[in-house]
Copies of this chain bind each other. A is one copy, B any other.
């Protein structure tokens, strides 16, 4: 369903001078007169964006807004989005409970300032102003930092916040892959690399192993020769649980257990068995769940190991016995890829490119995604439902807007 880059590039750019004009009504239900091509008079590009005027329940605050972008000039570029995922953090941001706040701006021609939803995505450069040096028409770009507002068809911005994916980098990469490389794979990558020095053959353990980050970590860890113990929530039936375990083993997981198994007495002995009688050391724990499960995981770590928390799905804090910290020197860190990206732009770029290299080589698969096609005429209702649906969790992984005929 996702358009290939070849398809994209063969189409006329959207800011071509034309005499057609388009309605700019905020209502998604107003009939679109020109459903094939959002083009405007005098070089203006038409854009549609999922906007919100204030925090609240996603289903009630989001609306589809149409507005014009002026001709590309100066140090500005005009982007057309190709793919923008719906991450859980995006939902938290809409709800106002995420520390990274969007910018509410009057620039979109609304009566009151609004923000555009979405933080991750990939876009192609439609046009560049005369002052833009390092980016050219046809380049793909991803966002260096969150807060851009990626749930929109087109946008205008400067080059500073963009990371270029040149021809070589994006070869063989789908928009969905490029549009989801910044958050989950980077999170997994840095957590495996930056907290404990794992050597080939060393073990690590994670919960939420079937999450996007979890699946990325399984594959990256395998690529680097690290061996993994993966904890997943048990499914409704044993058959489903076994299928999930098999799926993760297929990705490269060495061991997969349910959270119940990980919290049973004797888990430590099982870990010993798996790790060659304890000669293999478990040196790192990755946690996106919280609660007592993390204590069970921390107890099987070798002294001087660390647990890195990047999520709290169980909404319970990590509360390890003090003895684990003091006498076994188990450290507890947090990781937030947004903060890391802001502080490490060069490493961010390297990480993204390495993951895309591995993807191209068939060594890294993106996580299951539910693609929601976003054409110019796609109804507000469809788009908003896709966002609100993330609250319930997509059966096939997370949702991603893949832009079609915009």
A333 at the interface (CB under 8 A from B): yes
Chain A contact-residue range equals 20 to 34
Contacts of A330 in B (CB 8 A): 334
How far apart sit A323 and B310, CA to CA, in the bound complex (Å)? 9
Contacts of A334 in B (CB 8 A): 322, 324-331
How far apart sit A220 and B328, CA to CA, in the bound complex (Å)? 26
Are the CB atoms of A99 and B318 closer together than 8 Å?
A: no
Nearest-neighbor residue (CB-CB) of A98 within chain B: B327
Contacts of A332 in B (CB 8 A): 325, 331-333
Are the CB atoms of A309 and B336 closer together than 8 Å?
A: no
A274 at the interface (CB under 8 A from B): no
Contacts of A326 in B (CB 8 A): 309-312, 334-336
A20 at the interface (CB under 8 A from B): no
**CB of A381, distance to nearest CB on chain B (Å):** 33
**CB of A306, distance to nearest CB on chain B (Å):** 9
Contacts of A323 in B (CB 8 A): 99, 312
How far apart sit A268 and B99, CA to CA, in the bound complex (Å)? 18
Are the CB atoms of B333 and A290 closer together than 8 Å?
A: no
Contacts of A290 in B (CB 8 A): 322
Contacting B at CB under 8 A, from A322-352, are 322-336, 339
Nearest-neighbor residue (CB-CB) of A100 within chain B: B327
Contacts of A31 in B (CB 8 A): none
A321 at the interface (CB under 8 A from B): yes
**CB of A326, distance to nearest CB on chain B (Å):** 4
A317 at the interface (CB under 8 A from B): yes
**CB of A190, distance to nearest CB on chain B (Å):** 12
User: A312-B322, A318-B319, A325-B334 given. 13 additional CB < 8 A pairs?
Assistant: A311-B326, A312-B326, A317-B319, A317-B320, A317-B322, A318-B322, A324-B334, A325-B332, A326-B335, A326-B336, A329-B334, A329-B339, A331-B334
Main SS class of interface, A: loop
**CB of A139, distance to nearest CB on chain B (Å):** 32
How far apart sit A312 and B331, CA to CA, in the bound complex (Å)? 16
How far apart sit A329 and B334, CA to CA, in the bound complex (Å)? 5
Choose among B312, B325, B339 the residue that contacts A309 (Cβ–Cβ < 8 A).
Answer: B325
**CB of A338, distance to nearest CB on chain B (Å):** 9
**CB of A385, distance to nearest CB on chain B (Å):** 29
How far apart sit A334 and B99, CA to CA, in the bound complex (Å)? 27
Nearest-neighbor residue (CB-CB) of A303 within chain B: B339
Are the CB atoms of A317 and B309 closer together than 8 Å?
A: no
Q: Which of A290, A326, A328 has the most CB of B within 10 A?
A: A326
Are the CB atoms of A333 and B325 closer together than 8 Å?
A: yes
How far apart sit A303 and B318, CA to CA, in the bound complex (Å)? 19
How far apart sit A34 and B108, CA to CA, in the bound complex (Å)? 98
**CB of A166, distance to nearest CB on chain B (Å):** 32
How far apart sit A300 and B107, CA to CA, in the bound complex (Å)? 37
Contacts of A325 in B (CB 8 A): 309, 318, 332-334
Q: Can you offer 14 A-B residue contacts whose CB atoms are under 8 A?
A: A309-B325, A309-B326, A310-B326, A311-B322, A312-B326, A317-B320, A318-B320, A319-B319, A326-B334, A326-B335, A327-B339, A331-B331, A331-B333, A332-B333
How far apart sit A287 and B68, CA to CA, in the bound complex (Å)? 56
How far apart sit A310 and B326, CA to CA, in the bound complex (Å)? 6
Q: Which 5 A-B pairs have the closest CB atoms?
A: A325-B334, A312-B322, A319-B319, A332-B332, A317-B319
How far apart sit A336 and B327, CA to CA, in the bound complex (Å)? 6
Contacts of A310 in B (CB 8 A): 326
How far apart sit A31 and B303, CA to CA, in the bound complex (Å)? 50
Contacting B at CB under 8 A, from A198-244, are none
**CB of A291, distance to nearest CB on chain B (Å):** 10
Are the CB atoms of B336 and A329 closer together than 8 Å?
A: yes
**CB of A323, distance to nearest CB on chain B (Å):** 7
How far apart sit A331 and B195, CA to CA, in the bound complex (Å)? 11
How far apart sit A83 and B319, CA to CA, in the bound complex (Å)? 38
